[in-house]
Amino acid sequence: MGSKNEFANVEKIKEHFENSTENQLRGNSTPAAINNYAQFILEKLQISEGRILDVGCGDGRIMEQIQKINPKLSIDGVELTSSLSNTARLLNPKSEIFNQNAINLYSKKKYDRIFSFSF
C-alpha cells in the first residue's frame, strides 16, 4: 500500500478530473441521461431502502437523482478529487462525501450496497 507509483497515479487521476467538464465525467449529462443512469443503477442494486455508497461519485449528480427517485435510500459518496467532492456535497446536503482515495476508505457506517458507475 502507498508505493511511489501508486501515489503518482493517484495524483494524475486528480489532475485529470480536477478540471474535467461534465461530459468528460460521464459522456452525456443531460437531465434525461442522468435519470437513465440513476434508473440503471437502481435496477442493478435491487434495493428499496437502506444505505448505499457511490465509489468515485464525481460531482454527485447521479447520487442526487437516485435520491430524488428513491428518498428512502440514504446515499454517501467517496471521491478523490476535491473540487468534485465539494460539488457533490452541495448537491447532496444529506450525504456524507468522503474526499479521499476509495482504496483507503474506512467508515464506521455499514452499507447495504456499494457501487461504482463509469469509474
Ligand X SMILES: C[S@@+](CC[C@H](N)C(=O)[O-])C[C@H]1O[C@@H](n2cnc3c(N)ncnc32)[C@H](O)[C@@H]1O
Which among 40-48, 67-75, 88-96, 100-108 is the span making contact with ligand X, rule CB under 6 A?
100-108
Per rule CB under 6 A, is residue 115 in the interface with ligand X? Answer: no
The torsion region of residue 93 among left (phi > 0), alpha (psi -120 to 50) and beta comes to alpha
Site for ligand X in 35-74 (CB under 6 A): 56-58, 62
CB atoms under 10 Å from CB of 14, counted, come to: 15
Per rule CB under 6 A, is residue 117 in the interface with ligand X? Answer: yes
Which amino acid type is present at position 43?
E
Residues forming contacts to ligand X in the complex (CB under 6 A) are 13, 17, 25-26, 56-58, 62, 78-81, 84, 101-103, 117-119
